[in-house]
Amino acid sequence: MILITGATGYIGSHTWVELLNAGYDVVGIDNLCNSNIKVLDRIEAITSVKPKFIEMNVCNSNALKSLFNLYSIDAVIHFAALKAVGKSVNNPLEYYKNNLGGILELTQVMSEKNCFTLVFSSSATVYDANNPIPYQEGMPLGSTSPYGWTKLMSEQMLRDLEISNPNFSVAYLRYFNPIGAHESGFIGEDPLGIPNNLMPYITQVAIGKRPHLSIYGNDWLTHDGTGVRDYIHVVDLARGHLKALNYLMSGKGSILVNLGTGKGFSVLDLVKAFEKASNRKIPYQFAPRRIGDIAAFYSDSARAQKDLNWRAEYDLYRMCEDSWRWQSMNPNGYE
Decide: is 90 part of the binding site for ligand WQD (CB under 6 A): no
In angstroms, the CA 24 to CA 28 distance is 12
In angstroms, the CA 294 to CA 89 distance is 17
Decide: is 20 part of the binding site for ligand WQD (CB under 6 A): no
Closest to ligand NAD by CB, 6 vs 134, is: 6
Rounded least distance, CB 11 to ligand WQD, Å: 10
Decide: is 12 part of the binding site for ligand NAD (CB under 6 A): yes
Identity of the residue numbered 149: W
Q: Of 95, 135, 147, 247, which is the active-site residue?
A: 147
Rounded least distance, CB 279 to ligand NAD, Å: 26
In angstroms, the CA 119 to CA 171 distance is 5
CA dihedral 218, 188, 177, 194 (to 10 degrees): 40
By a kind-dependent CB cut-off of 5 to 8 A, residue 203 interacts, out of ligand NAD, ligand WQD, none, with: none
Decide: is 125 part of the binding site for ligand WQD (CB under 6 A): yes
By a kind-dependent CB cut-off of 5 to 8 A, residue 267 interacts, out of ligand NAD, ligand WQD, none, with: ligand WQD
Site map 184..223 versus ligand WQD, x via CB under 6 A: ------------xxx--x-----------xxxx-------
Number of residues that bind ligand NAD (CB under 6 A): 27
Secondary structure (DSSP) of 67-123: HHHHS---EEEE------HHHHHH-HHHHIIIIIHHHHHHHHHHHHTT--EEEEEEE
Decide: is 242 part of the binding site for ligand WQD (CB under 6 A): no
Pairing type for strands 75-78 and 2-5 reads parallel
Enzyme catalytic residues: 147
